[in-house]
Every structure is written in structure tokens, then in C-alpha cells.
């Protein structure tokens, strides 16, 4: 066989192998990016759930403040406001459960992302995605702490509303429970601020991945 032909054949063969490898890497990268896109859509639902909870908090606070504006003899009005506050609190509790479900549903997609990313040959790309996964898990752990503390605050709020629903209010007891709930909410705010920082970090990491490797 002609030596030139053999050399040409080998070059073409190597090019085919190289191109196949490139195609495989592009396909793998697209799998990872598509999984990230799914996570982004689910994250948006999680964020919307948080906004809904905040709106309920504001409405509930309005009724809570009304309770203290009523005169001693306006028992019915006070009890009605306390009842409305409890209804909103129960909605808030349902919202928190839904929010928790959403973030842990995303955990499943994160596990899938990790499995997909194991096959990624591009080391830099793989490491950046793994870092995203690491930060995500840290945020979820922090969210669980926030969620636990927030539920504790909700139960304390409920006990206050029940006291304020009574015809004769034990103000000393209410004051003690209010002091306790304020202490709990300080921890809630602390965890929430940390969570927001993690969320921003995740958004930046995801943005960098999209910009470098395409969406």
C-alpha cells in the first residue's frame, strides 16, 4: 500500500477520533447546561413561594397591630382581628411547607446534576459545576436551619394570638411570649440574611457557567 495513502488514512482516522471526542464533550456539556436550566426554573418557583410568605407576613402584622389599637371594651373586634391573624398564620405555615418541599425537590435535580457531571471530561467545567453543587448543598443545609427556627416562631406567634383571642387577656403572659418570639425572629433574620448571600453566590456561579459555556 502506498505510504502517502497510509499516512493520509492515519491522519483522517485521528481527525475522526478527535472530532468524535469534541462532539461527545459538547453533548456532555449540553446535558449539564440543560440540567442547570431545569434547576433554574424550579428555583424561580422556590423564590416565588418566599415572596408569597412575605406578603402573608405583612398582612398578618397589620391584624396584629390592630389588636393593640382596640379599647379594652372592644372585645369582639379584638377577637375578630386575632382570628384573621390566625387564618393568615395558617396560610403562612402552609406556604413554608410548600417552600420547603420546593427546595428539596431541587435537591433531587442536584443529585442528578452531580451524576451527569461525573462524565464531564473538561476538568475546569466539571470543577465549576461541582462548586455550584457544593454551594447549593450548603445553602440547603442553612435553609433547613432557617425553616426549623421559622416554624418555631410561627408556633410562638400562634400561642400569642390565642391569648389575645380570650375575653380577658393576660398581658404579662403575652409580654413574655412576645419577648420570646422577638428573640426567635432575630435568629430567623440572621439565617435569612446568610441565605440571601448564598442565593446571590449561586446566581453568580450559574451566570458565569452560562457565559463561559453557553446556555
pTM: 0.86
Inside any domain, residue 103: yes
Q: How far apart are CA 149 and CA 134, in angstroms?
A: 23
Q: So what's the pLDDT on residue 23?
A: 59
Full residue range of the structural domain in which residue 166 is found: 42-213
Measured distance between the N- and C-terminal CA atoms of the chain, rounded to whole angstroms: 48
Region of poorest pLDDT, from 33-42, 67-76, 159-168, 193-202: 67-76
Q: How far apart are CA 87 and CA 65, in angstroms?
A: 15
Question: Which residue bears the cell 434547576?
Answer: 39
Give which of 106, 104, 94 is closest to 41, Cα–Cα.
106
Q: So what's the pLDDT on residue 35?
A: 95
Distances (CA, A) of 11 to 8, 25, 40: 5, 21, 43
Distances (CA, A) of 97 to 151, 166, 181: 9, 29, 20
Inside any domain, residue 14: no
Does the structure show a pLDDT above 80 at 150? yes
What's the number of domains the chain is made of? 1
Inside any domain, residue 144: yes
Q: How far apart are CA 51 and CA 201, in angstroms?
A: 19
Inside any domain, residue 20: no
Inside any domain, residue 32: no
Can you give the CATH number for the domain in which 205 is found? 1.20.120.570
Q: So what's the pLDDT on residue 63?
A: 95
Region of poorest pLDDT, from 7-16, 28-37, 140-149: 7-16
Q: What is the largest CA-CA distance in the chain?
A: 110
The average pLDDT across 48-58 equals: 97
Q: How far apart are CA 11 and CA 191, in angstroms?
A: 60
Does the structure show a pLDDT above 80 at 13? no
pLDDT bracket for residue 2 (50, 70, 90): very low
Read out DSSP for 114-137?
Answer: HHHHTT---HHHHHHHHHHHHHHH
Inside any domain, residue 34: no
Inside any domain, residue 156: yes
Does the structure show a pLDDT above 60 at 104? yes
Long-range pairs for 142-148 at CB < 8 Å and ≥24 separation? 142/191, 142/194, 142/195, 142/198, 143/100, 143/103, 143/195, 145/191, 146/188, 146/191, 146/192, 146/195, 147/96, 147/99, 147/100
Inside any domain, residue 64: yes
Amino acid at each position: 500500500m502506498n505510504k502517502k495513502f497510509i499516512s493520509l488514512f492515519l491522519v483522517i482516522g485521528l481527525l475522526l477520533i478527535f472530532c468524535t471526542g469534541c462532539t461527545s464533550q459538547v453533548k456532555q456539556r449540553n446535558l449539564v447546561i440543560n440540567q442547570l436550566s431545569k434547576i433554574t426554573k424550579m428555583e424561580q418557583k422556590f423564590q416565588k413561594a418566599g415572596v408569597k410568605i412575605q406578603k402573608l407576613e405583612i398582612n398578618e402584622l397589620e391584624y396584629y397591630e390592630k389588636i393593640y389599637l382596640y379599647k379594652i371594651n372592644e372585645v369582639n373586634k379584638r377577637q375578630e382581628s386575632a382570628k384573621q391573624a390566625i387564618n393568615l398564620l395558617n396560610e403562612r405555615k402552609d406556604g413554608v411547607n410548600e417552600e420547603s418541599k420546593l427546595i428539596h425537590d431541587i435537591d433531587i435535580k442536584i443529585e442528578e446534576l452531580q451524576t451527569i457531571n461525573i462524565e464531564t471530561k473538561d476538568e475546569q467545567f466539571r470543577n465549576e459545576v461541582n462548586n455550584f453543587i457544593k454551594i447549593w448543598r450548603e445553602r440547603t443545609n442553612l435553609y433547613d436551619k432557617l425553616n426549623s427556627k421559622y416554624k418555631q416562631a410561627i408556633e410562638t406567634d400562634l400561642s400569642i394570638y390565642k391569648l389575645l383571642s380570650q375575653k380577658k387577656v393576660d398581658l404579662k403572659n403575652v409580654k413574655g411570649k412576645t419577648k420570646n418570639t422577638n428573640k426567635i425572629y432575630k435568629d430567623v433574620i440572621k439565617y435569612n440574611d446568610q441565605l440571601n448571600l448564598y442565593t446571590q453566590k449561586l446566581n453568580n456561579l450559574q451566570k458565569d457557567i452560562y457565559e463561559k459555556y453557553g446556555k
